[in-house]
A and B are shown apart, each in its own frame.
Chain A
Amino acid sequence: MARRLLNRLTGRTYSSNDAVNAYVEGTASSDEIRLVKEMVRKNVALEKDLYTQQALRAVLGKIEKIEAPRSFAITPEMVAAAAGSDSWLSRLAEVFETQRTLALAPAIIAVIAALSVALLTIGDITGVVDQSDSSFSMAAIAESDSTISGSATGSDGPTGASGAQGNPGSPGSLGSFDQSAVTTEMAAAVQAPTSADAGLGLSVPEPTGQADSAPFERTVDDAGGTALLVIPEGNAIGELSTTKSAGPDESIANNDLIPSDAPTSPSLGTEFAYGGELVSSPSSNKGISLPLRQLQAGLAALAVAAIGAWVGLRRARGE
């Protein structure tokens, strides 16, 4: 096996194979004949084999030549019919016909995806990459639609008192969330050092904006759920938690949704981000936190699909 591989790498062919073939076909050179005779001397049974093969070849050569039973000339109608019955894969292959190097794209994608899966697996084993909470998904985001998300303020970047004016229609807002109302209330809460409403309130070291003593409580779920912003008194930084199925999942979602360039001034956005961290992640991550399983599954599926596309294209092109 190793010799075979070595021969292939160095471009050498099998001299014994060549010699035997040439001998059987009667086209052997003097060197090849000498080699075959040497082989026969070492292995007497080989002589019989060679003789049988020569006779067999003679028999095969006497098999009658076959003639086409009819004309296979083509017509435009035949070609049109064939083009009409082409599979989508064949049509795709035709696109790549002129740009053959482009047809390698699926193979390259497959390699990259497979390498990524391998790296993620290695990272998982070595602890460089951690599986983030599985609730980080679009479903979780949709679920958090009804909660007060840090991104409601963090995404559009109102800081400090400017957030009190609200910023309706921010592209970063979540779904049907009534952002302007919340930001107004948030701002109001920021301005109100304490709330007299049911013990819920917000304590902010340097309240800014226009004061309004509105209670910091709001129903935001049209379906009847109630979301509360609970920021305990005495907590200078503030802590965000939500009720209505409020659990760590949503808190993590809030945390993850806050952009890295969230406001750094003592603002609501900062506090939400910080609050998110305070209640986040039931698992203590040492490495990079990623939705590992989902990524691995997705990349593996991508690799398989790309390999399938590559093989399909090759076959459709008749390679």
Chain B
Amino acid sequence: MTSFDEQRLIQLTRDGDYDAFNRLVIEYQDAVFAVVLRTVRNRAVAEDITQDTFISAFRKISSYRGGIFRAWLFRIAKNASLDYLRKIARRSETSIDEDIVYFSETVSDDKQDPVADALNAELARLIEHCMSGLSDEHRFAMVLIDVEGYQYDEAAESIGVSIGTVKSRLNRARARMRDCVQQDPELLPASMRLYNKEN
């Protein structure tokens, strides 16, 4: 979809065109759902929040004043996700799926290794555990940039802070993740372990 198309669809949405908005939904639903799921770590809740995000976006489309539309959607999704997390924190509830993090390819150096899958699962669990230890804001920055691969400007717009703040948060998040994963060095990929051995 070209930028022009997106703007045209947004304009049609302002006029109350559901079909136009639903084309935007189809374009961005994977991205929004992924970010929400990695933030709240519960599939059922993530589906609800994603749906609410798009409903809310349709209703608030008049408040969209340019910029990256996906980042605007992320911002709505982020607020809804953090609201949910604050709510369950107040109730001291824990409702987290354990299979959010998994890898598209093995992180082991030896793809023929029969224990690679088991290690992958363990590493995924470790990553999930370490990410859950981050603050919500730090995790959100890390998910957007390191996991989903978005640019700093888009992440900054999504979070509603400056690029410098995003970089600072990301820096701290990476440092904490580094400290956390090194508690179980045997689960780390060979490259990281080799480095540890050498030093």
Contacts and interface: CB of A to CB of B under 8 A. Distances in A.
Main secondary structure of the interface of B (DSSP, over half): helix
Main secondary structure of the interface of A (DSSP, over half): helix
Interface in B146-176: 146-149, 160, 163-164, 167-168, 170-171, 174-175
A73 interface: yes
Given A55-B191, A60-B127, A74 B55 contact: yes
A21 B172 CA distance: 10
B107 A73 contact: no
B26 A69 contact: no
The 3 closest A-B pairs by CB, nearest first: A66-B34, A64-B104, A73-B22
Contact of B167 (A13, A56, A63): A13
B84 interface: no
A97 B62 contact: yes
B26 A73 contact: yes
Contacts of B123: 59
Interface string A38-63: 00000000001101110111111111
Contacts of B5: none
What range describes how many residues of B lie at the interface?
35 or more
Interface in A2-27: 13-14, 17-18, 20-21, 24
Contacts of B29: 68, 71-72
Given A13-B167, A72-B51, A318-B76, A66 B30 contact: yes
Nearest to A64: B104
B182 A17 contact: no
B33 A64 contact: no
B63 interface: yes
Contacts, number: 140
Given A13-B167, A49-B175, A72-B25, A55 B103 contact: no
A274 B171 CA distance: 75
Contacts of A78: 51, 55
A34 interface: no
Interface of B: 18, 21-22, 25-26, 29-30, 32-34, 37-38, 43, 47, 50-52, 54-56, 58-60, 62-63, 75-76, 79, 83, 101-105, 107, 123-124, 127, 142, 146-149, 160, 163-164, 167-168, 170-171, 174-175, 177-178, 181-182, 188-189, 191-192, 195, 199
Nearest to B100: A66
Contacts of B191: 55, 58
A75 B123 CA distance: 41
B25 A74 contact: yes
Contact of B178 (A49, A61, A63, A71): A49
B167 A17 contact: yes
Nearest to A78: B55
Interface residues of A, number: 44
A67 B43 CA distance: 12
27 contacts: A13-B163, A14-B164, A17-B164, A49-B178, A55-B192, A56-B192, A58-B191, A60-B127, A61-B149, A62-B107, A63-B124, A64-B103, A66-B38, A67-B34, A69-B43, A71-B25, A71-B29, A72-B25, A72-B29, A72-B32, A72-B33, A73-B25, A82-B56, A97-B62, A317-B60, A318-B56, A318-B76
Contacts of A318: 56, 60, 75-76, 79
B171 A75 contact: no
A79 interface: yes
A60 B147 contact: yes
A70 interface: yes
Residue among A67, A68, A69, A71 with max Cβ neighbours from chain B (10 Å): A68
A57 B189 CA distance: 12
A318 B77 CA distance: 9
